[in-house]
A and B are shown apart, each in its own frame.
Chain A
Amino acid sequence: MNRRNSQFDAYVLEIHKVLDQLDYYHLLGVQPGAGVSRVREAFLSIAAKFHPDRNRDASDEVRAALYEIFKRLNEAYRVLCDPQKKAVYDQGLAEGRVRLEQTHRAAGPKSPEDALKSPQARQFYRQAASDLKRGALMQAELNLKLASTHEKSPNAAIEALRAKLEDAKKQKGKN
């Protein structure tokens, strides 16, 4: 059991070389239409032989390659078992992208008021912004004040709008 097969090792290194060109289906050896249970079966049978823990007697080079391969296998498995991710992946794959590239998804604020925690504050903030746009500085100031009373902690979006408002007031004063 402890005798390594050098052909296996050579094979591992070969896979590692072309890893970045392999799509998830080829990597797992399943057809694009394969169901979750087939994907799972394929993943487990590969894991049984290719997991780094099963190859601790391999050379450092082979172990490093196995480690990289296994990370990609985990990625492939996760994507192919998740219908939503799979759909996005298939679309990308049709355009030649073999990995599901995580783009900056909607984690960050889409608009400045998204950064406000309180829903009321968001409402007042939006009102203040539109007031400012149409030049109703008094109303903008009032709404902004209301927004900041609802938002307990200091907020960058409110501060930014306040600065704009101050600028607009100065501008108006000059005129």
Chain B
Amino acid sequence: MGLAVGIDLGTTNSCLAVVQGNKATVISDHIGRRIHPSVVSFLPDGTSVASYEARERQITDPRNTVSSFKRLIGRDFNGPEAMASLADLPYEVGFGPDHVPLIRVRDQEVSLPEISALMLRHLKELCSESLGAEVDKAVITVPANFNDVQRSSTKIAGRIAGFEVLRILNEPTAAALAYGFGGERSEKIAIYDFGGGTFDITIVELAGDIFKVLATAGDTALGGDDFDTVIVEEMRADFIDKHGVDLAGNTVAMQRLRLVAERVKCQLSCLEHVEATLPEIAENRAGRAIDFHFKMSKSRFEGLCRPLVDRSLDVCVEAFKLAGIDRSSVDNLVLVGGSTRIPLIRNLVGREFGVRPRVEINPDEVVAIGAAIQAFSLTRYQMSRPSAPPEPYAADKRCSSAPPVVWSDGPKGRESSGPLPAVLDVFSDASSDAKSCEGAGGEPPAGGSRRRPSDDFGWLDLGLSEPPEEPHVKAPRTSVIKRRKDVVHGAPSWPPMQQGDAFSVDIKVGATNALLLDVTPRALGIGTAGGFCDTIIERNAAIPVEQSRLFTTSYDGQTEVVVNIYQGESRRVSDNTRLGQVLLSSIRAAPRGEIKIRVTFEIDTDGILGVFARNEETGEAQSTRIVLSGGLDEITVRALVEKYASE
């Protein structure tokens, strides 16, 4: 039996962790690298490489090197997000049946779950090598706001890579788990996750070892990239002022501005002023090359960023409303995602919540660590799954003497001392021995005692207070910038990390027996006449969850009913994301309205939709087919699993 690991399959970088001996460890490759670029490159000989080796090839072979695939996975090719992200991609994207996006590389078309699978397979091999043991199970994380198709496509990728996917886990929930809060006291944790492309806020209530997500909300169009954009716009305006030339139409120049902007952003997290020089960025009207010198102060940057941070805080307000709690009741605030390194964010968010943000665990690794903990707690019960049920260890007579049949006597007979709670209590000892194993759970969060006294909201300034007269010109000289200009950027060069250093090796695991009760981020609905959406499963409903609806034929002799499914809260389908269709077929021809079919929509513990239908008269299962926009069907998936297993 193989090991179970946690995988944070990121847009830019991926990270792996495992729990062994009550410690969570980030798995590094043979030369000690702890994060792995999410890039896959297809070679001329028909094979492929992933991670660092693939990232090298972004420069030499950009057309056959696929990065940022997480932005495309499970997306409808015609969707606005997919289209927007296409513009920046150096490789070619096409589409197959049901709008499935396909990547065209070396005269073949590869689906996105396959590309993700190649990355995951690389990570799987890396784990096996590093741990010296077979690894065949994984918890894979996704952003909280991933929709059904994105989740199922990620799970499919895991299967193709040869993993048993134990769970598709929300990234903020994983982060909460990594911090391993806990103990007897009930507390509320807010996880503020500002990633490269999206923003999520999740509020978790912790009771003992149960993590119950109260609410999750997000803005899919708000991310760290937006900070780059405000700097780029500032640069563009500055260039117009100085040289009278608008760089907007100059793609190459704009790309260079963007690369430099990202570095300026990172530098401004620890410096008061940053200068940059972009040699020969454009030509003036006389045809002479212009060098562009650009300066930006931290306060200017923060002024520009403020609206973006405020936007994220508005989403937080929404989340608190959904959770039905006041923000002052938050006991702990966890920051996740690279953008939370920006001091302004730390300060504003900390002030807003009235608590000091927790940043001890490296934000690049915290999600993988949480996933590893969940993988561990999911498999510990499975370890010795017996082939035959064992003898009862506590032959309690009350079990048989109080059969649950008693409460089947109708809804009216509800005595206060109904047998159900009493019988449930009988089993309280079933978990007590498991509980005693998690001694670490009662300890204060591991980070608390190791904070430096100087740690405060603005600690980054203290550590790096630099003489202001020194111009920190990370001036990209001609050769440097030229070489960089067409490179799809990898990890941004953030200032040296102070946080996480003490914890970068092992994290003591406090929540090995954690039980996660998560929610579905978006409402699920069906399309009705007139472009309306009828909500079936509400937003933020605890999962697993199911709801059913009765459908009937609308004309005589109708043998097929098509149900359109949407994700989103709006009453109008046009404002929601179309997930796909459910086809009810082979219906007996009958007068309209005679046939009644009960369709049950279920969202499972992975946040993935399932649809079942039953004929109300006959009680027989009704044949159904779900077609998801941008998703692969089961037959294709099986074929892919076999194909990659035999390779």
Contacts and interface: CB of A to CB of B under 8 A. Distances in A.
A10 to B, nearest CB: 8
- Taking each of B209, B391, B418, B434, which has the highest tally of chain A beta carbons within 10 Å of its own beta carbon? B418
A75 B393 CA distance: 32
Given A29-B420, A31-B416, A57-B386, A8 B427 contact: yes
Interface string A66-100: 01001100110110000000000000010011100
B101 interface: no
B404 A52 contact: no
A44 B209 CA distance: 10
A53 B515 contact: yes
B469 interface: no
B390 A3 contact: yes
Query: Chain A: interface secondary structure?
Result: helix
A109 B399 contact: no
B381 A55 contact: yes
B309 interface: no
A53 B411 contact: no
A107 B528 contact: yes
- Taking each of A4, A9, A25, A75, which has the highest tally of chain B beta carbons within 10 Å of its own beta carbon? A4
Contact of B414 (A26, A49, A105): A26
B529 interface: yes
Interface stretch (B83-91, B338-346, B544-552): B544-552
A171 B517 CA distance: 64
Contacts of B411: 23, 26, 93, 96-98
Contact of A115 (B389, B395, B437, B531): B531
Contact of B399 (A11, A21, A48, A51): A11
Contacts of A4: 386, 389-390
Given A11-B423, A26-B418, A115-B531, A71 B546 contact: yes
A4 B389 CA distance: 7
Nearest to B385: A57
Interface string B320-336: 00000000000000000
B403 A14 contact: yes
Interface string B411-445: 10010101011011001101101100100000000
Contact of A26 (B403, B420, B536): B420
B529 A109 contact: yes
Contacts of B221: none
A44 B214 CA distance: 13
A169 to B, nearest CB: 25
B3 interface: no
A49 B432 CA distance: 10
Interface in B189-225: 207-210, 212
Nearest to B420: A29
Contacts of B434: 1
B136 to A, nearest CB: 16
A128 to B, nearest CB: 17
Contacts of A74: 541-545
B418 A57 contact: no
A143 B210 CA distance: 60
Interface string A104-124: 110111001011010000000
A78 B541 contact: yes
A107 B207 CA distance: 36
Contacts of A10: 399
A143 B352 CA distance: 51
Contacts of B385: 2, 56-57
Contacts of A51: 515, 517
A137 interface: no
Q: Which 9 A-B pairs have the closest CB atoms?
A: A29-B421, A115-B530, A107-B534, A2-B384, A57-B385, A18-B408, A29-B420, A56-B381, A23-B411
14 contacts: A2-B383, A8-B430, A21-B410, A22-B407, A26-B407, A44-B210, A48-B210, A49-B431, A53-B515, A54-B515, A74-B541, A108-B529, A109-B532, A117-B572
Given A15-B404, A48-B208, A56-B381, 19 more contacts: A3-B390, A6-B392, A10-B399, A11-B404, A11-B423, A26-B407, A44-B210, A44-B212, A45-B424, A47-B517, A53-B377, A54-B381, A57-B381, A70-B544, A78-B538, A96-B410, A104-B534, A115-B530, A115-B532
Interface of A: 1-11, 14-15, 18, 21-23, 25-27, 29-32, 42, 44-57, 59, 67, 70-71, 74-75, 77-78, 93, 96-98, 102, 104-105, 107-109, 112, 114-115, 117, 156-157
